Amino acid sequence: MTDRETRVADPATRVTGPEARVVHPIEQESFRRLRARLDTSHFPPLTRAVVERVIHSAADLDYASDLVTDEVALEEAHRALHDGAPVVVDVEMVAAGITRRDTVCRLKDAVSGPGLTRSAHAVRLAYEQVGPGALWVIGCAPTALEELLTLDAAPALVIGLPVGFVGAAESKAALRESGLPAVSNVSEKGGSAVAAAALNALLYHPVSHPESHPAPEAESRAGSPSKSKEKS
């Protein structure tokens, strides 16, 4: 960011404190247009932040009904993130999109083997390095997400948004069934940009929330105020 960029007043795109983020006017205008086309005001604050930033990263309004989030899980992950919990990513493209936090990516050190992809091995190596309590951001490889679900990783949050026709939707469904705190989506779409955007939403969101919102009773589709059951 340059010193010519101006700070936005909207808390959905600002972080308070000594290292407050400044937002370029183009980004401010992008969010204004997004909100002109989609009403996100009914979402609780962190869910709204994640939904808006994912949509902004992909210019895809359908994520409003495709994402599955849980506000309580996001609140706990937000606290862990700002308390310094490590962030693990599956590929360097996700790391490149996370702008305010160092990340762990072990893909360069990983090797494939019988029944094991490089992405899955990288998850094993990363867990050996960071241990429990990390935030995991998976935006590329379904096998990375599948491997994470086999570990006793006790994550602060799993942002599981891998993309693809093979295994992506299935791995995200398995994440939701696992009961782990998570951000996921139902469809096959996803990718590094949207996964990084979901993490950035938590990084950019104010540490102190002036408003209180009732906690949701259960995990729900972001696009609906009530629980939605997935189609089989």
Nearest to 140 by CA among 84, 100, 88: 88
Largest CA distance in the chain: 53
**198 near 137, Cβ under 8 Å?**
yes
Q: State yes or no: is 82 an active-site residue.
A: no
- C-alpha span between 58 and 77 (Å, rounded): 23
One-letter-per-residue 3-state SS of 140-162: CCHHHHHHHHHCCCCCCEEEECC
Nearest to 138 by CA among 192, 84, 77: 192
Residue type, 219: E
Tokens 């490889």 — which residue?
A: 141
**122 near 109, Cβ under 8 Å?**
yes
- C-alpha span between 155 and 125 (Å, rounded): 15
Report the Cα–Cα distance between both ends of the chain, in Å, rounded: 45
Nearest to 145 by CA among 164, 128, 130: 164
Q: Active site residue: 24, 42, 56, 82, which one?
A: 56
Cα of 23 vs its chain's centroid, Å: 20
Instruction: Please give the positions annotated as active site.
Output: 56
